[in-house]
Amino acid sequence: MNSKIWLSSPHMGGNELHYIHQAFDENWVAPLGPNVNGLEDDLAKALNKEVFVAALSAGTAALHLALIQSGVQPGDEVICQTMTFSASANPIAYCGAIPVFIDSEKETWNLCPIALEEAIQDRMAKGKKPKAIVAVHLYGMPYKVAEINAVAEKYGIPVIEDAAEGLGSTYKGENCGTFGAFGILSFNGNKIITTSGGGALVCKTKSAKDQAVFLSTQARDEAPHYQHSQIGYNYRMSNIAAGIGRGQMEVLEDRVQQRRANNFFYRQLFQDIAGVSVFVEPSDDFFSNHWLSCITIDSSLCSKTTEQLRLHLLEDQIESRPLWKPMHLQPVFAASPYYGGTVAEDLFKTGLCLPSGSNLQEEELHRIAAAIRSFFNS
Ligand SMILES: *Cc1c(COP(=O)(O)O)cnc(C)c1O
C-alpha cells in the first residue's frame, strides 16, 4: 500500500536539535531562556518593522492576550471573520465576550469590508460598539488590509490580526502580522513553520510586549514572595520549543517558496480541467505564502463534487480537507449574531484543501496528479 500523503506535516530544517542541545547543555529547560529571546528577535527581524514579539505557548494564547490587552470584558462584543478556524473565535468566549460573525468577500475569502461596516453600524444602533475586530489571513492569503483598516479607523476599533496561517505572506510589500494593533502567529505542527506547538503575539510597543510577558507568566508583581494584583496565565513558550523555532526560522523563506511552488503545480494541473478554480492572489498587492493550496469546484460545469474528490484521494492514501466550516454555522456559536450573505457558506460547500506540505516529494506530487486526473477523466 502507498504511504500516506498529508495535507501539511512538520518539515525540519536541520539546526533545530542544535538549539535544543544548547538548551540542555546550559540547563535552560524552562519557559524562558536564550532560545525564547532568540526566536523573538528572529521573528521581529523577519517581520521587518518596528515590532515587539512575545513568544507564547500557542497562537490561541496569543489571541486571548490580544483581546485582554485590547480591554475586552465579559458581555462585550467582538467582531470575527466567520470563515476561519475555531481558534480565531474561541478566545472571544474565554473573555466572556460575544463573537459577531462576518461573511467573506470572494477575492481573498477573508473579512468583507462592506459586511463589516454594516455590522458595526447595526451593533452600534443596538447600543453596543464592538471592542475589537479579529481579521484572518486564511490559508496564507492576506485580507484586504487597506479596506479593513479604513473601516476600523473610521469607527476607532482595534484590529487583531490573526496571521496564524500567514507568516511569510505580504500585502503591498509589508509583512502579514504587522498590520493590526496586535498580530498573532502560530507554530502548531501543521503551520508553515512549527515549534511542535507554540505561537507569538506581535506588539506595536515595548510596553505592550512587557504586559504580554507579565500576563503569560502568572502576572507576578515585583516582590520577594509570590504577589498578584491581576489574574495571570501560564502562556509563555518553553525554551525547548523555541529552539525548534530558531532552527525553523533559518528555513522560513525556503518553506514559503516551496508552498508557492505547490500552488503553481496545482495551477498547471487544473488549467485544462473545466469547473475547477485554484485559489490565487487577486492582484500583485497580495503575496500569499500559500500555506494550503485550495480549489473550488463548480459542479454545474463538471458534474463532480469536492466530497467525491476527497474520497477518491483518500482511497490512494492522499489526505485533503473541506475548506474550514464557517463559525456562524458551528453548533457552538449558533446563538451569535451574523452579518453578510452566503460567500463563506458557498466556499465551504464547494472548496477543498489539497496536500500542501513544503516536504512533498516529486514522486508524491506525481501520485497526487495521477489521482486527480483519473478522477476528472472518469
Ligand atoms: C492554527 C490557528 C490558530 C491557533 O493557533 P494555535 O497555535 O494552534 O493555538 C488561530 N487561528 C488560525 C486561523 C489558525 O489556523
Gap between the Cα atoms of 315 and 12, Å rounded: 28
- Helix 362-377 to helix 252-270 angle (10° resolution) is 30
Query: Is pLDDT at 378 greater than 90 in this prediction?
Result: no
Q: What is the pLDDT of residue 2?
A: 82
Domains of the chain: 16-250 (3.40.640.10), 253-377 (3.90.1150.10)
Q: Which residue has the cell 460567500?
A: 343
Average pLDDT, the chain: 97
Q: Per residue in 137-183, pLDDT tens?
A: 999 999 999 999 999 999 999 999 999 999 999 999 999 999 999 99
Q: What is the mean pLDDT of residues 187-197?
A: 96
- CA dist 130 and 70 (Å) reads 11
Amino acid residing at 359: N
Best CA proximity match to 138, nearest among 214, 210, 202, 191: 191
- Evaluate: CB of 60 within 6 angstroms of ligand 1: yes
Q: Is 162 in the pocket of ligand 1 (CB under 6 A)?
A: yes
pLDDT at residue 132 is higher than 80 = yes
278-332 pLDDT, tens digit per residue, is: 999 999 999 999 999 999 999 999 999 999 999 999 999 999 999 999 999 999 9
Cβ atoms 134, 180 nearer than 8 A: no
Q: Which residues of 223-246 are buried (b: 16+ CB within 10 A; e: fewer)?
A: eeeeeeeeeebebbbbbbbbbbbb
Any atom of ligand 1 within 6 Å of the Cβ of 161 = no
Measuring from atom 2 of ligand 1, which residue has the nearest CA?
Answer: 164
The angle, 0 to 180 degrees and rounded to 10, between the axes of the packed helices 306-315 and 362-377 is 130
Closest residue to atom 6 of ligand 1, CA basis: 59
The rounded Å distance from CA 86 to ligand 1 centre is: 8
Cα(192)–Cα(268) distance, integer angstroms: 23
pTM here is 0.97
Work out the percent of the chain whose per-residue pLDDT is above 70: 100
Q: Atom of ligand 1 at shortest distance to CA of 198?
A: 7
Beta-ladder partners of 339: 102
The CA-atom distances, in angstroms, between 136 and each of 5, 42, 84 are 27, 23, 7
* C-alpha to C-alpha distance for 11 and 52, rounded to whole angstroms: 27
pLDDT over 90, % of the chain:
98
Q: Which amino acid is at 258?
A: Q
Mutation to probe ligand 1, out of 60, 82, 110 (largest number of atoms < 8 A from CB): 60
What is the best residue among 165, 187, 202, 289 to mutate for testing ligand 1's pocket, by most ligand atoms within 8 Å of CB? 165
| Ligand 1 lined by 59 (C-beta under 6 Å) | yes
Tell me the mean pLDDT in the region 352-374: 97
84 CB under 6 A from ligand 1?
yes
Q: Is the pLDDT of residue 52 over 80?
A: yes
The pLDDT tens digits of the residues spanning 57-70 come to: 999 999 999 999 99
| pLDDT on residue 74 | 98
Ligand 1, residue 84: give the atom nearest the CA: 13
Residue 335 CA, ligand 1 centroid: distance in Å: 23
Q: Where are the alpha helices (DSSP H) in 163-305?
A: 206-216, 239-249, 252-270, 299-302
Q: Does residue 136 line the site of ligand 1, with CB under 6 A? A: yes
For residue 256, the SS3 value is helix
Q: How far is the CA of 87 from the centre of ligand 1 (A)?
A: 5
Of 58 and 31, more confident: 58
In the predicted structure, residue 1 carries a pLDDT above the cut 80:
no
* Side-chain half-sphere CA neighbours of 350 within 13 A: 21
**150 alpha carbon – ligand 1 mean position (Å):** 25
Q: What is the grid cell recorded at 268? A: 498547471
CA angle centred on 324, ends 196 and 71, rounded to 5°: 70
Question: b/e per residue, 193-222, with b = 16+ CB within 10 A?
Answer: bbbebbbbbbbbeeebbebbbbbbeeeeee
The pLDDT of residue 104 is above 90: yes
- pLDDT bin (cut points 50, 70, 90) of residue 99 is very high
∠ Cα 110 112 118 (to 5°): 150
